[in-house]
Structure 1
Amino acid sequence: MLVSLFLVLFILPIIGSQCTNYCSSIRSKVPLSLRKSGTLTVYQLDGNQPISFSNNNTGFGVDLMNKIGQTLNLKVKFVTIPFSVLISTQQKQVYSTSISFIFNTRERAKRISFVGGLKSGFAFFVRLTSNITISKLTDLCGLTVVIVNGSAIQVLIKHLYETCPVQKPIKIIAMNGYDEIFMAVSVNKVADIGITNELRGTYSVKNFFSKSLKVLPFRYEILESGLTCSRGSPLCCVLTQAMNRLIYDGIYDKLIRKWDLHQNKLCISLLNRRDFCPCDYPCA
């Protein structure tokens, strides 16, 4: 009851100005050039399951974007690009979006805008027979850790490299792809532990590496991820409105259940949440 009252009295007035209008006029806010073309270009990353399976255009993000397309009366055109050019491409393409669901970090938020879609942390995975346990980041000292090059965890791990004691140094291996880091731990055994986005890590271990890997219960730094768009583009606000329409109508929840992302759901989508509120709003 108190949470519901808090939501009504405090949160709703704030988000009212943050592109959360549910009304049917959303389509009229779609930029004119998009309404004329009738097609919205959506960038996705290769093999970013469960967000997108680029080989057959399925996944949580794909389903979500198709529903948003219906809401905005736009056809959705999926284009697969590598992670290395995602942000620069998004900056240039003012009337496009992406379902990369990369973390909304301070550095990235300076370059592109984020429409809240999910919250997740980092997943730590080890070999099935391993007795390694992690309860804090410094427990990684003395281990060989594999990560994806350019990922959000890379900065934290580099800082840890400088703080680990000399007698227990951390060894860092950075690889270019997600599949490579899973193989580095499970098959090649060149690393003791791998760290990756919780969404990708949990799904991959459960569906592809369950006989050789396990995900540790430790969750670190829960961050928001979602759709991205060019900073300052009017499309960003429209996407946020459409996202909240799906949340309001219960469609978002159905997709959450379909892809088993219960612990990652958001109750309200905000545009550039990091700009004005570092918190995560409770559900009423």
Structure 2
Amino acid sequence: MVHIRELDPSASPLDYFGYELRRKREEAGLTQKELGGIVFCTGSLIGQIETTLKVPTREFAERVDAALMTDGCFTRLVGLVLRSQLPTWFQPFADMEAKAAYISTYQCQLVYGLLQTEAYARAVLGVEHGDHLDELVAARLERQRALRREQPPVVWVVLDEGVLHREIGGREVMREQLAHLLATFGKPWIELQVLPFSVGQHAGMMGSFTGLRFDDHPDLHYSENYDSGHMTANPQVIRKRSLGYARLQAEALSPRESATLIARVMEESYGEQPGSGPRSVA
């Protein structure tokens, strides 16, 4: 007799997704293999998602909704599932980031998460999270859906020049990532500036930070260290860090100059190099 793992739908969004997927599939009179054939995956994957051994993707959720005629139920739920894969300490910020009307951030180590390519995100997250890498990458890409809202937030990013030169994931990954940054120029809701090395000491020396503004909530300031984040609505902190951010904006290159620098670094550091093609074997 096959043992069917029982799920507690109240345990987590992932448990609820698996519980509902099994319930709706059985209600439709389909086996795992039959549903897998309809949504273009294996029956084994259906079983793994039903028992929380695998995290569903948004594409999977959309296909299941269409197959089971569940009126967008799984598509709505998958956002919660993916967000639950983020580190616990990061989830409150991700929730607020998704609701923000205006995001201003200074990043001294990495490209801001909302502007990362999938390959770049995979390289960053793979440093310490190899066991659940696919889930974490999916969760990071899910955050980027905020930029595709009907009314997306205004996003102002100041990147330290070092971010452009820090090779993450190899030359091809960096070239793709810098090309992605270049593609943001001209979008009315995104502004990107590079803080050049020539500035010297500056208001961001203590590390990366992000400010969130809302239409109907107090402003928030967020910063993080190795394995924790700190978010505050303290007016004094907001005032001080807003002034610091304004100084960074003033000292950074203009968006046009920043685009020129990014393009130059992309070609000089990550472009095709003489002799980089396949070598003949003697």
With the length of structure 1 as denominator, give the TM-score of the two structures.
0.23
Q: Which has the higher strand share?
A: 1
Q: Which has the higher helix share?
A: 2
Q: Structure with the greater relative contact order (CA < 8 A, sep ≥ 6): 1 or 2?
A: 1
